[in-house]
Amino acid sequence: MARCRCHRAGGYRGGTPCRAPGVRGDPTFAAGGSTKLSREVATELERDPVYLVRTPAFDGPIELLLTLAQRAEVDLKAIPLASLTDDYLRAIEQDRPPLERLAGFLVIGARLVQLKAAGLMPESVAGEEEELEAWEDAIKGRLEEYKRFKELAESLMRRHATGRFTFAGLLEPDVVPQARVQVSLEALASAFQQVLDRLPPPQQVTVEMEQVSLADKLEELRSMLGRQPQMNFSAMFRHARTRLEAVVTFLALLELIRIGQARVAQASAFAEIMVYGQETEQ
């Protein structure tokens, strides 16, 4: 409950009735009623008092103090604004208010300082109203900037928390260009199966483990394509004596295709698959 203590007994000051207890003034007007506070600040002030002033000369919401002061219904000379600010700073250390209320206190406090200075120095510099409006706009801009940074920080924190449960691939997949493989995988696999079918089946005998080197087969195929840049697919396996050697030869051919030193093509669905060297045109 707010009350003006200038004349408690009669409730009047200089013939002007004090505002009834519990009634909040309109804090949206500046000194002299010529300039309005921003709509955002005024809305926040109406929703909840920014700060309750406790002084011998005035006891109530700071919004009401501003209203009474700009209507000359309270003497700001009797109110120590510096101690009021110190009390407010101590209060916000205990209870962190939202940014809108902080901005509201800054704007109202600046108005009160302006009114008190105008009372002490009637010859105040012209244009002070415009400067204070610019100052209020600057505060609003800073608050908006702070909100944007806060939202970005929260977004980064969410991404960081989500990233703890995701794992990126260490290597990019090596995709063979389509120009090097002009044959379907089914046709290539079928042609290789025909090569295997022509080889003799493995005999049930005990032999030493056969050693077939992939590096040797790579050099062998490079040499073959160097001598004959265009070959039938089946001709690539003419030296394969066992299934293991044929498999290693096939792997060597796939490696040459992957690194761009060979390519395969098929003229039609049932035509022979052709293997071309690196610099050979079809």
d(CA 153, CA 113): 36
Q: What is the pLDDT of residue 281?
A: 46
Q: What is the pLDDT of residue 123?
A: 55
Question: Cβ atoms within 10 A of the Cβ of 47, count?
Answer: 10
Give the highest mean pLDDT range of 19-28, 36-45, 133-142, 248-257. Answer: 248-257
Q: Is 276 helix (H, G, I), strand (E, B) or coil?
A: strand
Q: Give which of 77, 84, 81, 64 is closest to 118, Cα–Cα.
A: 77
Mean pLDDT for the stretch of residues 37-60: 64
Say what the pTM is.
Answer: 0.32
Provide the token pair at 244: 């293991």
Least reliable range by pLDDT among 53-67, 109-123, 253-267: 109-123
d(CA 3, CA 19): 7
Distances (CA, A) of 221 to 87, 211, 238, 280: 89, 18, 11, 15
Mean pLDDT, the chain, rounded, equals 71
Q: What is the pLDDT of residue 137?
A: 73
Q: What is the pLDDT of residue 162?
A: 72
Question: Cβ atoms within 10 A of the Cβ of 124, count?
Answer: 15
Residue 159 has pLDDT above 80, yes or no: no
Domain boundaries, the chain: 3-163, 178-277
Residue 124 has pLDDT above 60, yes or no: no
Count Cβ atoms within 10 A of the Cβ of residue 273 and give its class: 0-12 exposed, 13-18 middle, 19 or more buried: buried
Q: Give which of 9, 6, 111 is closest to 59, Cα–Cα.
A: 6
Over residues 164-206, the pLDDT tens digits come to 556 555 555 555 555 566 677 788 788 888 888 877 776 666 5
Over residues 195-244, the pLDDT tens digits come to 888 777 766 665 566 678 888 889 999 999 989 889 888 888 888 888 88
Least reliable range by pLDDT among 47-61, 101-115, 261-275: 47-61
For the sheet with 230-232, list strands across it.
Answer: 181-182, 262-266, 273-277, 230-232
CATH class of 178-277: mainly alpha
